[in-house]
Structure formats: C-alpha cells, structure tokens
Chain A
C-alpha cells in the first residue's frame, strides 16, 4: 500500500514535475499572503507586512527541498542536479579528470579484454545445441587420443552416452581446379553432425549410413568460413567434385556460419568422413589398435546419467579392452572433460593461464582503484573548505557524500566506456587474427553482452570503491574548525591512504616482476639449445600422401627427391624427417629394456618421442652426434634394426652415453633394436618450455613415413635456394604440393604460447608501472603541496636541501620501498604459475631481481622528480609573506 502510494507519487513527480513545482511555489506564496493579511490588519503597511511574513516563514528553499524529499521521487532529480554539479566541478580540473578517466579506462579495458577471452574460451559453451550435456572422453594422462578400433569399442559398448562421435585432424592438399592448396580438415565419424545435433546451412551432411568400409564415402562438408573465402558464397558448389590428395571427393554441403568444429582455437576448413582416412593420411590406420590418432571422442550423456556413472561405464570398457588386447592396451583411468579446449591436455594450461591473467587484470583494477581513491581523498582534503562551507549553509553530510560519490561514479563510467570501447576493438581484432601462417589458429573472442555487463559492473563497483575513500573525511569535517583555521591545517592522519598506496605499489611491483620474468624467458628461449640449428635451414613439406602416392612407391620417391635437392647450387646438405622438431606435432612410442619379457604398456621403460630420419638428417639439422655413428642407406628393410637415441634416452635405459652405444632395447612388437649412436638432447614437442625428454631416431627405410619433410641446410640465405628446390621437385612430379618455409619461421607455433604470455604480461607490467607512477606522483605532489609552509619554515631555520627533501618525500620513498619489496616477494611466490608457460620462468634469476629493483627505483625517481623540484624551489621569504 505504502509502496504503491510511493510509486504513484514518484510517477506523478516525474510526469508532472513542473506542475508540482508550481503547486509548491503557489502554496508557499499563499501562506505568506495570508500571514501578511493578518499582519496588515494589525496595522503594518502592506510592504512591511509582506517582508515580515517572509522572514517569519523561515528558510524557504530549505523547506521546499524538504517538501520535495517528503514527496518522494526525489532520487532522479537529485541525481540530475548532482550530475550537473559534478560536470561543472570536473570541467574546472581537466588535468585531474583526464588522469582519472585514463587510469580507469586502462584498468577496465584490460579487465574487459581478459574477461572477453575467459568468456569465449572457458565460460561460453560450444556453439551447438544442448552443449551442457556434451562431454569428451579422455584416458590416462589427460590426453584424449584414441585409436579407431578403440573408438568403435567405446561407441558400441557404452551404455551411458547418447551416441559417441570422434574426429581426427589432418592436413591435405585440396585441388579445386588450379593449384593444389594446403587445407586443414577434420576426419569425422559419420555420426558427428547428428551427435552434435546441428543442421547444414547448404546441401546435406554425411551420416553413419554413408559409411560402408574404407574409402567408401568421398564427401566433403565445407565450413561456412572456407566456403565464403574460397568459393565466394557460390551456392552451386554442392555436387562439385574436387581433388583431395589426388582422390576425387564430392562437396555435399556447407556447415552453418557459427560452427567452427569442436575445438575452439583451431578451425578446420572442411570435414570428411573418417572411413576415408587412408586417402587423407596415406596410411591405413582404421584397423590399427596401437596407433592413437583420433584427436577427441565426444558425445551427449543420456538424460539422467551423471558424469560419475559415465566414468564408471568407461572404466569397465577400459578394463575389458586391457583384458582382451593386452599387447596394445595398458590399464588406464578414464575421465570426462569439456570439449572445446581439447580436453585437459591443452585445456588445463589454457585455463590456468587465462585465470592467472584475470587475476593480474583484477589486481590492475584494484591498483587503479587504490590510486584513484588516494587521489580523491587528497582532493576531498583540498576541498574541505568548500565542504565546510556547504555544511555551514545547511547541506546534510549525506547529501555532500552523495555528490562526491556521483562525481566518482561519473569518472568511473566515463573510464569504463572508454576502456570498453578499446577492448571491443582489441577483441574484434583478436577474433580475425591468424597468428600462424600454416595453421588455422582461430581465437573466437567476439565480445558479447556478458563482456559489456562485466565492464559496466566493474566501472560502477570501482567508482563506488574509490568514491567512498573520502567518506570518513567528509563525515568528520567540522565546518566551524575549518573555516576558523583556514585551509592550511596539519596533514592529519592519512594512514588509510598510505596503506592503499603501499598495496598499489606492491601490486605494480608484482606485475613488473612477472613481465620481466616473461621477457627474460622469451629472450632465453631464442638463445636456447634446441638440439638443432634452425638458422639457415629450410623445411620442405612434401606430403607424398597428398600427391596420391601409395606406401610402396614412397621410399624410392623420397630417395630421388633427396638426391635432386642435393644437386641444387648453394645447398650444403639435405636430410629427411617425418615430423621436424618443434613443428606441428610429434609421435611417441613405447620402448622396453632388452631383458623385458612382459611387453604390456605398463612395463615400458620409457616413452620417447620417435622420428624417422634419412642418413643425412643430423648433418642437415645441425644436431651434434656425441658417440657412435649415424645411419646409412644400407640400414634398410632387410638389415638388422638400428636406432640413434638422445642423451636422455641413453641415461634412462642404459645409464650413460658410452654404455648405450652397441646396447639393445625392445620395441612393443618385440623387435630388438641396437643403438648405434647417441645425439645431444633437444626440444621436441610444440612447447619450448618442455622438460627434458627421451628421443628415438629410426632409419626412414626401416620405419617408413609418407608424410615427410626435407630439411635443407644452405650455405647462405635459405630463401635464395628456395626457387631452385621448387623447380627441381617440379621436375620430378609437376603435381607435387610443396610447402617451403624456413625452420625459424615454422617454429612460430612452438613459440606461440610463450610469445602470447610475454606480450600480455609485458602489457600488464607496463600498465602496472604507469599506475604506480601516477600513484606515487599524486602522493608526493600532494604531500609537498600540503607541507609547503612547513618546508619553508624549515628552510628559513637553516635546513639542508637533503633534509627538506626527506621531509617532503620521505613518506613516498618509504612506501615505494615497502611496496616494491612486498611485490617482489609475491612475484617469487607466483613463479610456479608462470613456469607452465614461460620458458625457464624463475624470478630467482639475479638479472630479473636486479631488473625489478632498477625499474621500481626508476619509477620512483620519475614520479617524485617534479614534486622534489617543487619542494626545493620553496622560497621561505615569499611563502611566509604570503600567508
């Protein structure tokens, strides 16, 4: 009832504001007239009577204001008045306003960007219907890889999934009529689109009913983006036949626009049925249980089934598999993960990194709030005369506080708007950014309503946060004292501000530390020993499978290619490897000691990274041979099996390099292999921050691979021999899809994570540094300004420059020292988070430590320079004469 009356009066106030105002005015006038009538009757002149009546009525505006308040609906009107007043005040101090808005814009912008990434990669589910019940299956160490026979068993034996789909990722050569171009695809199970419950944009999808054994379904479903860029939105593309690795495939449909496959940061160009795997990869893997190449297996849980029940179901299938195929299957623990980030294997570091970034961005915002809080407190102190005057004139304290808060929130909203605008531009840019040339990395971080909402919320919260800092000050203001004493009261207690500033400096020092660690890591990684020399080496990716060669033709063709390229002028040596180090991917294999009888996976002595190489490979790659010999072309199919291993492998299986040469180990199929040489350790997978790994090199004739790369070491600039290589290879087979790149450039993928980390940490570090400059500057300038008179007197009494400086800036310097130390300690503690991404991340590096100290002292110097000059230029005579 009361509330309804309130609402009604609120509506009335808003709708008929002018009328109510007139009403009020007229009522007051009527009162005064009536009173004047009475007074006139008692004998006063009319003019005198009206004057008396007005005086008797009392503070007209004050009562009118109270009436408005009593009437309700006042909030908006007061707000409007506060807004107008705040605008006037802020316009009068453009410097302060600009600094405050810019500080917040940076801080809120950083938060919006990081939240945009967090939102897109972690919070937002895959863009498919009912994504909530969609899970990926993973086994063992967080890897989601399966073999095709395993996938079939999982699909057919589980009772908890509403169907299971699977996909692998591969690169192919697609020839649409002119030149074969490289493209990336998903080899998907026939039921893939049906399980994801999506509908084609054009044409049709393939289904489980299209699968009739190996190579029975030569169909292509394009992604919308690829159709748009490569087929110019041509609707007639459905039904067209194209050449995929020289096999005819028919385009049957186009996927809907928002669907980029089921891996967020990797968008394929098209989808083909998994049963055509052999045409895609060149090697038949559908019936091989030990090769795990399917990237992910995923499906919806049946309604009512909990993830725990599904895991139990998977474990029982797992133990069945281990029982039935002891040679191929080890006892592994199964688990579920969310798709989109490729299970825990990629997802965990990605999540950790984004969470760490979010934390740092939050710290930036906190630092900015602390910064602005102390600025506002200082301002409120300077305005204490104004506040006192307004209090004396009858304004209530809450009214004044409200106005100050309005000012703060206005600044916050302005900063938030600018920051959000910047972050939207940045996020849009990120979304279309293709950081790696040969690889469709895709970061779909389009900002959505959630990002806008969070930015707005952060702006409001931070506005209130730093707007409330001066609240206590206003609350304690005693107008009588202040007006009596004049503006130059003693500094008073500013302990809260000191704590704020100290915390801010600590946060900034932490940010500076982490960015220094990251930069140092990146610098180190470029000088790291990779176990090969990427400089002056050219990689030539000649996937013979893409050119339609069958396995038995491959070896001879590879030998011919090596010979042909060796003859190109300027080429020093040519090697071949199935998968160059630190490029797209890697293979591992299990090895056993020579004495092992039980060859089940759980008894493996090591799981080294495995390479198939040609005899000249080590020379071409620049890998140092430490002992023994490398391969020759005589290490062929009929010769005894041999291998070259790295130091780590030798240490793990044989104890030392010398005892490794001539020693034997077993592979999973029981073959005894003799170690003939040992090479230096290196970096193998796609992450240069990896730990020491064992590696195994096998002769390419004994372990053939149709997808191989030539490593060409040139005597001079590798670009100069590129044309020669290309024409020689074209002479051999004019239809070969050839991809040439320097090894340095091709390694971008391996460096990507740590480069991204370095760039983002450096940006945050820079922001932190800027914030601490403004914070310390504000504090120092303010404290010098307030104590000018005291400094003047000290000087007049003969204080030295040093003493004056210390009196003026001592507090700021102490805060800087305390804050930096605290930040540095925090940085040391947070090193573990960094270590997973940044190469050899450790802040215990003397260079990093001294760097941080240097940077923080420099920041302090920059920030206190102007206030120090001001303190020293105090002229006591002039100052004392003035006041």
Chain B
C-alpha cells in the first residue's frame, strides 16, 4: 500500500470529471476507472466519492440517470454535460501548468541558480 498516494484536496473532482469524460459510468465504475487510469496509485475512500458526485451534479457539470450495469444491477450512471466538458479542459490546463511549474522547481540543481 505504500505505493499509493493521498489525494491533494480538490483533485478528486478533476479525477471524477476525467473518468466520466471517457464514457458514462456509475459510482463504483468511476472508482475502478480512476484506479485503472492512475495505475492504482491513488487512494480514494469509497464513500467519499458520493459527496463529490452530488456536488458536481449540483454545479451542473455532470448529469445522472438510472440504468442497468454490466453486472445486470440497477445503477446510477453519470456523464459529462457540455459545461462539465469545458470545466475539465480548463482544470486540466491549470493542473498541467501547476504540475510543470512544481516539477521544474523541484528539479532545479545547485548549478542552475
């Protein structure tokens, strides 16, 4: 488990948007997808996903509808709205800029100053 990292605050929403952008998913599916695309490196408490989902629905970034899952169970599926798509683009850009900046800052060597 030591290979797993704690989520930075605020990044869960971004991950959820990303996971859903690849196709409609139900809650458990989103968790699996995040695990899959992050290489199982991120630790998310299962229940904590739902307040984030409800928040995103309320902000109009996701929309939800009931359907039937691959296990043949009733499940609530989430997909991105146009607004959600736009937000994902913006947040991704922002994250990339931040990550690049932090990475280059941390990569600085003594001689480069």
Contacts and interface: CB of A to CB of B under 8 A. Distances in A.
A6 B55 CA distance: 11
A72 B57 CA distance: 11
A70 B28 contact: no
A27 B27 contact: yes
B73 A58 contact: no
Contacts of B74: 26, 30
A71 B55 CA distance: 6
A811 interface: no
A868 interface: no
A234 interface: no
B106 to A, nearest CB: 33
B18 interface: no
A69 B54 CA distance: 9
Interface in A436-488: none
Interface stretch (A59-67, A337-345, A684-692): A59-67
Interface stretch (B3-11, B45-53, B96-104): B45-53
Interface in B17-75: 26-29, 45-48, 50-52, 54-55, 58-60, 69, 71, 73-75
A27 B57 CA distance: 14
Contacts of B50: 27-28, 31, 63-64, 66-67
A57 interface: yes
A27 B28 CA distance: 10
A5 B58 contact: yes
B76 interface: yes
Nearest to B45: A58
A5 B59 contact: yes
A33 interface: yes
A9 B54 CA distance: 11
Contact of B73 (A1, A34, A71): A34
Given A5-B60, A34-B26, A34-B69, A62 B75 contact: no
B27 A31 contact: yes
Contacts of B52: 70
Contact of A71 (B27, B45, B58, B60): B58
21 contacts: A1-B60, A5-B58, A26-B74, A27-B50, A28-B47, A31-B27, A31-B46, A33-B71, A34-B71, A35-B28, A35-B46, A37-B71, A57-B47, A58-B46, A63-B50, A66-B50, A66-B51, A70-B54, A70-B58, A71-B54, A71-B58
A595 interface: no
Contact of A60 (B27, B47, B71, B75): B47
B27 A30 contact: yes
Contacts of B51: 63, 66-67, 69-70
Interface string A29-42: 01101110100000
Nearest to B51: A66
Contacts of A72: 58
Which residue among A1, A2, A63 has the maximum number of chain B CB atoms within 10 Å of its CB? Answer: A63
B5 to A, nearest CB: 19
Given A27-B27, A31-B28, A67 B73 contact: no
A56 interface: yes
B71 to A, nearest CB: 5
Given A30-B73, A70-B54, 20 more contacts: A2-B59, A6-B58, A26-B74, A26-B76, A27-B75, A30-B27, A30-B74, A31-B26, A33-B73, A34-B69, A34-B73, A57-B46, A57-B47, A58-B46, A60-B47, A66-B50, A67-B51, A70-B55, A70-B58, A71-B58
Which residue among B29, B46, B52 has the maximum number of chain A CB atoms within 10 Å of its CB? Answer: B46
A63 B47 contact: yes
Contacts of A30: 26-28, 69, 73-76
Contacts of B28: 30-31, 34-35
Contacts of A26: 74, 76
A37 B72 CA distance: 11
A71 B52 CA distance: 10
Contacts of B60: 1, 5
A30 to B, nearest CB: 5
Contacts of A71: 54, 58
Interface in A45-93: 56-60, 62-64, 66-67, 69-72
A23 to B, nearest CB: 8
B82 to A, nearest CB: 13
A59 B48 CA distance: 9
Contact of A58 (B27, B48, B55, B76): B48
Contacts of B46: 31, 35, 56-58
A218 to B, nearest CB: 80
Nearest to B71: A37
A64 to B, nearest CB: 8
Nearest to A27: B76
Nearest to A30: B75
A27 B51 CA distance: 12
Interface in B72-88: 73-76
Which residue among B45, B47, B52 has the maximum number of chain A CB atoms within 10 Å of its CB? Answer: B47
Contacts of B26: 30-31, 34
Given A30-B76, A70-B55, A71-B58, A58 B71 contact: no
Given A30-B27, A34-B26, A63-B51, A9 B58 contact: yes
A34 B58 contact: no
A812 to B, nearest CB: 49
A478 to B, nearest CB: 24
A630 B11 CA distance: 107
Contacts of B48: 58, 63
| Smallest CB-CB A-B distances: 5 pairs | A63-B47, A66-B51, A58-B47, A70-B54, A34-B28
Interface in A506-554: none
Contacts of A56: 46
Nearest to A69: B51
Nearest to A41: B71
A27 B45 CA distance: 16
A85 B42 CA distance: 40
A60 B28 CA distance: 15
Nearest to B52: A70
Contacts of B55: 70
A37 B29 CA distance: 12
A726 B58 CA distance: 90
A69 B76 CA distance: 19
Contacts of B27: 27, 30-31
B16 to A, nearest CB: 13
Nearest to A33: B73
Which residue among B28, B60, B69 has the maximum number of chain A CB atoms within 10 Å of its CB? Answer: B28
A810 to B, nearest CB: 51
B43 to A, nearest CB: 12
Contacts of B45: 58
A71 to B, nearest CB: 5
Contacts of A27: 27, 50, 75-76
Contacts of B75: 27, 30, 34
A5 B61 CA distance: 11
Contacts of A23: 76
B53 to A, nearest CB: 8
A1 B60 CA distance: 10
A646 B92 CA distance: 101
A19 to B, nearest CB: 12
Contacts of A33: 71, 73
Which residue among B55, B58, B60, B75 has the maximum number of chain A CB atoms within 10 Å of its CB? Answer: B58
Nearest to A6: B58
B47 A59 contact: yes
Contacts of A9: 58
Contacts of A66: 50-51
B1 to A, nearest CB: 13
Contacts of A2: 59
Nearest to A59: B47
A364 B31 CA distance: 61
Contacts of B71: 33-34, 37
B68 to A, nearest CB: 11
